[in-house]
Amino acid sequence: MASLKDLRIRITSVQSTKKITSAMKMVAASKLRRAQEAAEQARPYAQRMESMLGNLAAGAVGQDGESDLLSGTGKDDSYLIIVMTANRGLCGGFNTNIIRSARQMIRDLQAQGKSFKIFTVGSKCRDNMKREFADHMVGHFDEFGRTGSSFAEAEHVGQSVMAMFAAGDFDVCTLIYANFVSAMTQNVTRQQVIPFPVPEVDAGDDAATGGGYEYEPSDTEILTDLLPRNLAIQIFRALLENGASEQGARMSAMDSATRNAGDMIDTLKMTYNRTRQAQITTELIEIISGAEAI
Amino acid sequence: MADTLQLELVSPAKLLMSESVGMVVVPGIEGYFGVLPDHMPLLSTLRPGVVSVHDGVTDAPAKQFFVDGGFAEVNPEGCTLLVDEAIAIDEITADNIAERRSAAEELIQSAETDGDRAAAEKALFIVEEMARAMAEAAA
């Protein structure tokens, strides 16, 4: 049985752990508020962009000179997987879930005999992917969110992806990130961005979409402008969603860690008191039996 | 006929403005165009320039923004502008412009690839347009 001194040391150490986790929870909560706001404010642009693309693409599909970003290269032999995780750990299953989904996808691709390349965002997934797939890594980016102009950063990622696509390095590009639902729930999402899946246009809405529009300059020219921009926007949105998810996951992980530490302190205190009581009783018995013997 | 239209000005970071307005003048790639209520559906790319929002009552524009390019969609519900950046015209200062200009010039100097140079030249072009917009607003 542990001595009283050992127990005391144990209790103090758990208490300081609890202080740290609860402080981390507070920090994550305030960062979450900011990240969630940013993610929500970015949604209108992405939505409007999508509806605009939907209108345009509905008319443009099947036309000559259609962009490869929309129709694909005509094959799906090689994939680019953009995996996004956090830069730091201590956020529950957040990083692990994303990496697991990425591995699953890689394994499926390997089974089908397709080739793949990996672009990582966030140092956690780079470190993890490097162990197994170092030969397939084509790029990395982990500066997101450290400076103010974050859209420029997403654009930068978008540009390097575009350059690889233009060079014919891959046919299909998929983003893997966690979509933010609430502080408790984040869904790991696989989103295909190249070729861009044409959003469904309401069939009944025909007059309002497609044919009714006038284009300035021409629909194909607008598409050539719009598609690379849409790629950057989708990456930007994924980065923001991921940022909010990370903070949410960290907050709930730290919350349960704080609660666990509390429970642990309770049981340790109980053992401590019992041991102390037992020790006093033993001492008393010794004194009494000593006195009786005289 | 409705006498106002819904104008939405959206940048990647947030929804900047969502209001009913009387008329809006937009810097389209092929020239400025005005959008009144019940305008025909239109999609256009934008050039760097000034978006003027009119409330439909007074002649002078109620609000003016400098935008650095993007897209405009006009449909029966209103007008949506997707822009990279929008700055209220009275918030542009000479210092601001000088700062951007020197940053853009530096980029042109340091550009290594054609792509970089084209991007830097575009940035400089935006700065020139911004300076012109400010001068016009002051005049």
How far apart CA A48 and CA A84 sit, in angstroms, is 24
Structure confidence at residue A226 (pLDDT): 84
A9 at B interface, C-beta within 8 A: no
B24 with B68, same domain: the answer is yes
Reply yes or no on whether A173 is catalytic.
no
The dihedral of CA B99, B104, B109, B110: what is its sign?
positive
Does pLDDT of A275 surpass 80? yes
Cβ atoms < 10 Å from Cβ of A110: 11
B120 with B82, same domain: the answer is no
- What's the average model confidence in pLDDT over B4-12? 88
pTM of the prediction?
0.84
b/e map B65-102, b = 16+ CB within 10 Å? bbbbbbbbbbbeebbbbbbbbbbebeebeeeebeebbe
Residue range A22-253, CATH number? 3.40.1380.10
Query: How is residue A261 annotated by DSSP?
Result: H
Structure confidence at residue A209 (pLDDT): 46
b/e map A263-280, b = 16+ CB within 10 Å? ebbeebeebbeebeeeee
Distance from CA of B42 to the nearest CA of A (A): 5
Does pLDDT of A271 surpass 90? yes
B79 with B117, same domain: the answer is no
B28 with B81, same domain: the answer is yes
b/e map A144-175, b = 16+ CB within 10 Å? bbeeeebbebbbebbeebbebbeeeebbbbbb
Segments making up each domain of chain A, as ranges: 22-253
The pLDDT tens digits for B67-93 are 988 889 888 888 999 998 888 888 888
CATH code of B80's domain:
2.60.15.10
Q: Are A176 and A84 in contact (CB under 8 A)?
A: yes
B48 with B83, same domain: the answer is yes
B81 with B36, same domain: the answer is yes
Contact residues on chain B for A161, CB-CB shorter than 8 A: none
B67 with B108, same domain: the answer is no
Structure confidence at residue A5 (pLDDT): 93
Helix (H) or strand (E) holding A164: helix A150-166
Does pLDDT of A208 surpass 60? no
Does pLDDT of A59 surpass 50? yes
How far apart CA B25 and CA B61 sit, in angstroms, is 9
Cβ of B82 within 8 Å of Cβ of A219? The answer is no
Q: What tokens does B32 get? A: 């400025």
A211 at B interface, C-beta within 8 A: no
Lowest model confidence (mean pLDDT) among A2-11, A144-153, A171-180, A238-247: A144-153
The pLDDT tens digits for A90-141 are 888 899 999 999 999 999 999 998 889 999 988 888 888 888 888 888 888 8
- What's the average model confidence in pLDDT over B9-19? 86
Q: Are B79 and B73 in contact (CB under 8 A)?
A: yes
Burial class (CB in 10 A: 0-12, 13-18, 19+), A134: exposed
Q: Are A202 and A159 in contact (CB under 8 A)?
A: no
Catalytic residue among A91, A102, A231, A239: A91
Range of the domain at B123: 92-138
Instruction: Mark which of B88, B104, B123 sits at the end of a domain.
Output: B88
Cβ atoms < 10 Å from Cβ of A187: 12
Chain centre to alpha carbon of residue A241: 7
Q: Are A186 and A180 in contact (CB under 8 A)?
A: yes
B10 with B61, same domain: the answer is yes
Q: Are A119 and A81 in contact (CB under 8 A)?
A: yes
Burial class (CB in 10 A: 0-12, 13-18, 19+), A36: buried
- Work out the end-to-end distance of chain A between its first and last CA atoms, rounded to an integer number of angstroms: 33
Q: How confident is the model at residue A274 (pLDDT cuts 50, 70, 90)?
A: very high
Q: How confident is the model at residue A206 (pLDDT cuts 50, 70, 90)?
A: very low
What angle, rounded to 10 degrees, do the helices at A219-293 and A150-166 form?
A: 120
Helix (H) or strand (E) holding A156: helix A150-166
Total of domains in chain B: 2
Contact residues on chain A for B43, CB-CB shorter than 8 A: 52, 55-56, 213-216, 219, 222
Q: Which residues of B touch A (CB under 8 A)?
A: 8, 10-15, 28-30, 40-45, 71, 73, 75-76, 80, 82, 84, 115
The pLDDT tens digits for B52-63 are 998 877 777 888
Q: Are A52 and B43 in contact (CB under 8 A)?
A: yes
Query: How is residue A246 annotated by DSSP?
Result: H
B18 with B69, same domain: the answer is yes
- What's the average model confidence in pLDDT over A166-195? 89
Contact residues on chain A for B68, CB-CB shorter than 8 A: none
B61 with B99, same domain: the answer is no
Mean pLDDT taken over chain B: 85
Structure confidence at residue A222 (pLDDT): 83
- Nearest-by-Cβ selection for B42 from A38, A151, A214: A214
Contact residues on chain B for A56, CB-CB shorter than 8 A: 43
B39 with B84, same domain: the answer is yes
How far apart CA A51 and CA B43 sit, in angstroms, is 12
How far apart CA B28 and CA B44 sit, in angstroms, is 6
B71 with B12, same domain: the answer is yes
Give the residue from A100, A160, A149 showing the smallest Cα distance to A125: A100
Distance from CA of B139 to the nearest CA of A (A): 31
